Each structure stands twice: as structure tokens, then as C-alpha cells.
Amino acid sequence: MNKRVLLGVSAGIAAYKTPDLVRKLGELGAEVQVILSKNADQFVAPLSLQAVSGHAVHSHAMTAESESGMGHIDLARWADIVLIAPATANIIARLCQGNADELLTTVCVATEAPIAVAPAMNQQMWQNAASKTNMSTLASRGVHILGPDAGEQACGEVGLGRMLQPADIAARVGGLFQNTSLTGKRVMITAGPTWEALDPVRGITNHSSGMMGYALAQAAIEAGAEVTLVTGPTHITPPSRAETVNVISALDMHAAVMNSIDQQDIFIGVAAVADYRPIDTAAEKIKKNAEQMTITMVKNPDILADVANLQKPPFCVGFAAETNDVVDYARGKLERKKLDLIAANHVGGSETGFGTPDNAITLISQNDVIELPKQNKSALARILIAEIAKAYTKI
């Protein structure tokens, strides 16, 4: 599986099965960390879970040992999936409400990773109207529901509500990651802005946050690719499994890309690269001595065009961030630069584009136009990678 599973154990009798669940996930190649909800340690020993996972068991949001001192954020970023097993009626109801009243629920609110729950409760609790409504709510939000199973329960009653067996849960979690569309492929992604220095203090840049490029890097990794992320200055932590190359200026980015582009199968140019740079950069801070200042600019190299025009170019995907006539400008860029695909998006508003968590994309090829509606950039990135992989296989 080669994934990071964050296992949340809530306070139900089925918690005694979770050491075996950790072991089964590990046998599939997953790395597992465990969060115990309040009172879950009454049903399973933390030391047992630590022994089989190889990690300390978590139960508090604020810990001195966590990277940032904010354990919920560190864990939320670490996970490829959050799995809650057993998921009691209580924890399911609190997830529906968006509660963040303990570490497990807080991580679920903070994570962009998919969430899966393996329900475990008395058969009558499972049949309760509130439980049914809560499960429907979670499903409508994209939460994966694993089970429950039917059979004899700890209370002696028989019916639906038993947690699936650990081997079944592990297999289903593994199945959620069966995206092998880019396995063995090498993908280079540029992300973020560039900074064109005027002097040692000031420079010309743009509002790109790097969020879309970083999300695409993570999605490509999930699809099995070996990813090189060439990034301008951002405040985002890059995916740990990407080879990250940090650059500042457009010239830096061009050099970094061309240095290893011949080793890539796919190139995705997401970075907002400055079209021009100052022809001269002052060695010292420019003083405010005049009412006006003239800056002479020179054109930067076109990274995307240079890659697409190589003798043996990789599959090339461009991005077009426009404030108006988005599709028309993007189609012209597709044809002019000889790209395989271009992702066009509107920027300048407050709801999508630079610096916002959401985006909407129009994906354009020579023969097709696909509208991808507004959604979280991480979710959108997974769809984009799937479409890119599909188009790549057709060449």
C-alpha cells in the first residue's frame, strides 16, 4: 500500500481488535499511527498499539514532542487517510457536527486526507433513525463507510452493527488507494511564484501561494509517480515523498527544470512564473530619493514552451490563470506552445484561484473540454491527475 494510515480508536468493545488491525495494515505495507479517543484506553492497552505500530500512541492535541507543538495539525498533515475503527455511534454523531473537542475529532476537522469509518455498535443503535441520518450525512460528505457486519454481538444480540474483521477493513482501506495510474512514471511539477529582485530587499512577484502545485504533487505521489517538485518561495510544507528543488527567480526555475527534464515522463507547469525581470539588480537597497523611478525589464525565458519544444519532450500540461476570456486565452496558449493539455482557471476573485483553498478548472485538450467545478484544491488535484494519466496513456 505504501500509505500512511492514521487509525482513530474510539471507546467501543471492538477496540480490542485494533492491535490486529494495525498488524494487518502493516502487512499491506502501510505505516500506522494511532489516536485513542477519550476512554478508548479502557478497552485496549496503548502499549499494545505502540508495540505493533512502532509509534507512540496519541491522545492529546498539544504535545511538546510534536513537530510544531500542535499535534492535531502535525497528524492531520501526516495522514494519507484517517481510519476510525471502531467508530461508535457517539463518535459518528460528533463527526457529523464537526466537533473538535478532543484530538481525534480535531484531526478529522483539520485534515484534507480522506476519512473512513468502520461502525461498531449495538444492532438497535445501528437501526436508530439518528444513526441512519448521521451515516447518510457522512456518506454525502465523501466519508468512506466500511461495514458494519451482521452477527452475534458482545451484548448477546444478533444483527447489523458488528465491526468488520481487521483483515476485511485493511483490505478495503487498501482498495481505496488502488490508483496506480502513474506507477513508475516520473513527473515534474513547478509550483508557486517567482521573485525577481530589484535590490537585496525588494522584488517583483505575484499572489501565487503554491497550493495547487503542491496538491498536484501529493496527488501524483498517491498515483504512484516519482515526483520532482520545483518550487518558488512559498510558506507550504512540500510533500515528504517528493524530491523538492527550491528556487527563487524565473531563471533559477528554468535552470532547475532543464537540468533534469530529459528524465521526466510528464511535465506539469503550475508555477506563476514572472514574464519579465529587471534588466539590472541593484547591489544595495535603492533609496527613496526621487519622485519617480523607471525600471527597465527584460523578458524571462518561457519554461513551458522550452520544455514542449524539446526534441523529445515529455507529456506537457500547462496552467492558464486568467482574469477574463479564460477558455479562449487558454486554448490559444495550448496551440501556441504545442501543449498536450492546459488547465484554465479564473483568478482575481475571492473564492477561487491564488491563495484560496478552492479552485475550479477547465481542462482543455485539442479535442475535448472538461469542466471541473469548484472544490477543495486537494480533491481537485486528484481528479486532475486522473485525467492527466488518462490522456498520457493515449499518446
Q: Which residues are catalytic?
A: 155
Inter-CA distances, 160 with 100, 125, 155, 168, 197, Å: 29, 10, 13, 16, 65
Site of grid cell 535590490:
199
Phi, psi of 280 (to 5 degrees): -130, 140
Q: How far apart (Å, rounded) are the C-alpha atoms in residues 209 and 356?
A: 8
Supply 86's cell numbers.
471502531
Angstrom distance (rounded) from CA 201 to CA 184: 43
Q: Rounded to an integer, what distance in angstroms lies between the CA atom of residue 7 and that of residue 265?
A: 35
Count the Cβ atoms, other than its own, within 10 Å of residue 302. Answer: 17
| Helix/strand/coil for 136 | helix
- How many CB atoms are located within 10 Å of the residue 227 CB? 27
- Short-list 189, 382, 201, CA closest to 304: 189
DSSP 42: G
Per-position DSSP letters for 187-208, written without gaps between them: EEEEESB--EESSSS-EE----
Compute the distance between CA of residue 10 and CA of residue 82 in angstroms, rounded to an integer.
13
Cell (9 digits) for 187: 513527473
Residue identified by cell 451482521 is 150
Give the C-alpha separation, 88 to 81, whole Å: 19
CB-CB contact of 44 with 7 (8 Å):
no
